[in-house]
Amino acid sequence: MSMAAEPNELRDDVLNGLRLSRQLEKVWRTPSGLVGALMSVDHKVVGRRYILTAFAFLLLGGILAILMRVQLAGPEKTFLSADKYNQIFTMHGSTMMFLFAVPVMEAFAVYLVPLMVGTRNIAFPRLNAFSYWMFLFGGCFLWISFALNVGPDVGWFAYVPLSSLQYTPTKRPDVWAQMITFTEVAALAVSVEIVVTVFKLRAPGMTLDRIPLFVWAMLVTSFLVMFAMPSVMVASTSLILDRLVNTRFYDSSSGGHPLLWQHLFWFFGHPEVYIIFIPGTGMVSAILATFARRPVIGYPVVILSLIATGFLSFGLWVHHMFVTGLPQLGAGLFTASSMLIAVPSGLQIFCWLATLWDGRPVYRTPLLFVIGFIVIFVLGGLSGVMVASVPIDTQVHDTYFVVAHFHYVLIGGAVFPLVGAVYYWFPKIAGRMLSERLGRWNFWLAFIGFNVAFFPMHILGLIGMPRRVYTYTADMDWAHLNLLSSGGALIFALSFALLLVNVIYSLRKGELAGDNPWNASTLEWATSSPPPPQNFDRIPVVKHRDPLWADNESLPVVAGLSAERREVLLTSLAEAEPQIREASPEPSIWPLLAAIATTVFFIGSIFTPWAVLWGTPPMAVTLIGWFWPAGSKEDEE
């Protein structure tokens, strides 16, 4: 396929081979030098930074977890004061949810989705850069505050009235609430990019039923983010208003109500779990197909399950509020709706089991993590069915049983697939394989450590241990299980240390990967490892759901995009038929400047409402710079 060439423009159909690669690289590469690096709008560069930053926050959050486990290893320990402990468990939850789990999934999407759909860059690349800076600044803001002893101490859920000015007259809850604003802005931006990338930038021929399952998962996740996150932004902004300018959204003595906070927070908070879990399922599907050596059985079932999970996830937030005194029938209905989500999750599990059943599995590290995922996640899902029941929940709510449950679901459902994904895609990102030997150690330490750390918590919850207690008295008989759990946590932490060692070692000494070391089927493996700045010299044409397995000799391509300026091919939403060529933005420093201006605005507004006024002009200036017309050519058919 070729499009009518214009005179005087170099197109990728007149160049070939190395000359084409070099020309495109020159056009698409990130400018050199420090300023160049700060200007980068390459989704791979931004994605890599995003992944590394999210993992840095995982490390920090993990250190906090270990500190808590040391404190709880025995009764009445004084390793941490009550104040430190309360800050630490708040920071652990906030860091893991807002600075690690959600961003790391989006980070992988930022890196992988454009490659998987076969385009040259993500949609809205400058917004993407902006999103990363906002995430980075928001995370640093939270952690610097913590280091200055202004870390939030009201829980990652920040229930009012405890987080109100009356009961917490410090700046700590403001720091928490504004960190939420930072990360939500970042997450919303990425979601918009992913949706548009998937809808409009897919390679020709990649019809809706040929989209890789990971991409489908990220698409559904992005929609969840767009519908769920505004709720928490409204909640946290109202909280700041209550605290800063004396509004009364949550004050029951002036007609507000503390339960309003809980409804708004959990209307976000429950979909949040699926925002973290659904990308994990996408990673599982990708890894499983490659290592079971066959496509995932029930492609449409998996997609419909993802979409059903997305919808259902908005109808069960009330199960976080079963003990707030709701009407009994209403609570009972939310039991049923909460349990129903087990159906789509179950269907996906059945599809994966069948895939493994019929496949010819190659037991490399990524597959080990997927198998660990199934064993752990199913257990977590089943304890989830238990906590969905109103009578059972009145006992286990806010106890260590729930702590066990959601770590099984989130670590089992998202972190195991994620570590599997690191082993799986590291060769693509870094060009070298991770050590398989260390990988196996990593898996077994993680699997054993995780279960030793978290399984005893089920029992602790049942024998009466509440959550969020900085210590417990010696006569409570919780010491042995807590000690066991702390030991498991150390083993689990060790497994991550091993992952870090493996990454550092393999970056230098790892075996060279080549384009497609796993003989996988999706488009990201059709380009070199690491991919060149332009991703693909020519845009692939997709004729099959597993293009690299169907056309393993040579992939058909389409030519005709400009080779002298950044251009991407837009295709139709359903059938992915080529529509127009569109200019893709050049590198720019403005997204960084805009992020700095927004950061000043956000942080300033914790201290004075005037920051909203004085913070706006700099933001306007940076946005004008950002969108200043560069005189690029009109898009054309």
Partner 1 sequence: MPVWVRLFLVLCTSWSLAGCAGRQSTLDPQGLQSEQILHTLFIFLAVAAIVWVAVVIVLGVGMVRRKRLADQPLDLHQPFEERTGRVILGLGVITTVIVLGLSFVSYAGQRTVFAKDENALTLKIIGHQWWWEVRYEADSPHQSFVTANEIRIPTGQPVKVELESADVIHSFWVPSLTGKMDLITGQKNELQFTAKNAGVYRGQCAEFCGLQHAHMAFTVIALPPDEFARWREHENQSANSPADQLGKQGEALFRARGCALCHNINGTMAGGQLGPDLTHIGSRTTIAAGTLPNTPATLGAWIADPQHIKPGNLMPKMPLQSDEMIAILHYLEQLK
Judged by CB under 8 A, the chain residues 170 through 229 that form the site for partner 1 are none
**Which member of 332, 532, 604, 625 binds partner 1 (CB under 8 A)?**
332
Residue for token pair 């005087």: 8
Region near partner 1 per CB under 8 A, out of 9-17, 287-295, 418-426, 499-507: 287-295
Query: Interface residues for partner 1 in 397-436 (CB under 8 A)?
Result: 397-399
Using CB under 8 A, pick the residue from 196, 260, 353, 583 that binds partner 1: 353
- 353/619 with CB nearer partner 1: 353
Q: Which of 459, 470, 422, 550 is nearest to 78 (CA)?
A: 470
- 154 vs 168: CA distance, rounded Å: 8
**Amino acid letter, residue 521:** S
**Nearest approach, Cβ of 302 to partner 1 (angstroms)?**
10
CA-wise closest residue to 49 among 132, 131, 166: 132
Structure tokens at 131: 């999103």
Q: Does 167 bind partner 1 (CB under 8 A)?
A: yes
Choice from 213, 351, 404, 422 touching partner 1 (CB under 8 A) = 351
Q: How many residues bind partner 1 (CB under 8 A)?
A: 89
CB-wise, 311 or 549, nearer to partner 1? 549
Q: 380-404: buried (b, 16+ CB within 10 Å) or exposed (e) per residue?
A: bbebbebbbbbebbeebbebbbbbb
Neighbouring CB atoms inside 10 A of 328's CB total 9
Between residues 38 and 339, which has the closer beta carbon with respect to partner 1?
A: 339
Cis peptide before 585 (omega within 30 of 0): no
How far is CA 584 from each of CA 99, 109, 395, 518, rounded to the nearest angstrom? 29, 19, 55, 31
- Least Cβ distance, residue 434 to partner 1 (angstroms): 23
Interaction with partner 1 in 518-547: which residues (CB under 8 A)? 521, 546
Report how far residue 523's alpha carbon sits from residue 372's, in angstroms, rounded to the nearest whole number. 27
Residues 138-157 that bind partner 1 (CB under 8 A): 154-155
Q: Hey, what are 209's tokens?
A: 């039923």
Which residues inside 292-331 make contact with partner 1, applying CB under 8 A? Answer: 293-295, 297-298, 301, 323-325, 328, 331
User: Among candidates 557, 562, 497, 506, which has minimal Cα distance to 529?
Assistant: 506
One of 178, 335, 482, 622 touching partner 1 (CB under 8 A): 335
Is residue 366 at the binding interface for partner 1, with CB under 8 A as the rule? Answer: no
Q: Judged by CB, which is closer to partner 1: 191, or 399?
A: 399
How far apart CA 128 and CA 109 sit, in angstroms, is 11
Q: Where are the alpha helices (DSSP H) in 292-341?
A: 299-312, 328-340
Q: Which of 477, 515, 564, 586 binds partner 1 (CB under 8 A)?
A: 477
Q: 11: part of which helix (H) or strand (E)?
A: none
Binding partner 1 (rule: CB under 8 A), the pick from 7, 360, 508, 637 is: 360
Applying CB under 8 A, which of residues 63, 196, 233, 339 lies at the interface with partner 1?
A: 339
CB nearer to partner 1: give 16 or 246.
246
Environment class of 596 (CB within 10 Å of its CB; exposed 0-12, middle 13-18, buried 19+):
middle
Q: Which span (198-206, 353-361, 564-572, 582-590) binds partner 1, by CB under 8 A?
A: 353-361
- Give the tokens for residue 47: 């994605």
Window of 140-148, 367-375, 503-511, 582-590 that interacts with partner 1 by CB under 8 A: 367-375
Q: Are 173 and 163 in contact (CB under 8 A)?
A: yes
Closest contact distance (angstroms) between CB of 280 and partner 1 is: 17
Least distance to partner 1, CB of residue 260, Å: 11
Q: Does 476 bind partner 1 (CB under 8 A)?
A: yes
580: DSSP letter: E
C-beta closer to partner 1: residue 367 or 568: 367
Rounded-to-integer distance, Cα 145 and Cα 133, Å = 18
Q: Is 472 in the site for partner 1 (CB under 8 A)?
A: yes
**Does residue 26 belong to the site contacting partner 1 (CB under 8 A)?**
no
Kindly state the smallest distance separating residue 29's Cβ from partner 1, in Å.
35
Q: Which of 2, 16, 149, 394 binds partner 1 (CB under 8 A)?
A: 394
Instruction: Report the candidate in 103, 115, 111 with the shortest Cα–Cα distance to residue 221.
Output: 103
Least Å from the CB of residue 550 to partner 1: 6
Q: Which of residues 81-100 bind partner 1 (CB under 8 A)?
A: 81-83, 86
Window 226 to 285, contacts with partner 1 (CB under 8 A): 252-253, 257-259
CA atoms within 13 A on the CB side of 416: 31
Binding partner 1 (rule: CB under 8 A), the pick from 59, 66, 354, 501 is 354
How far CA 535 is from CA of 121, 122, 524, 547, 577, in Å, comes to 8, 11, 9, 16, 20
Among 31, 169, 464, 617, binds partner 1 (CB under 8 A): 464
Nearer to partner 1 by Cβ, of 39 and 288: the residue is 288
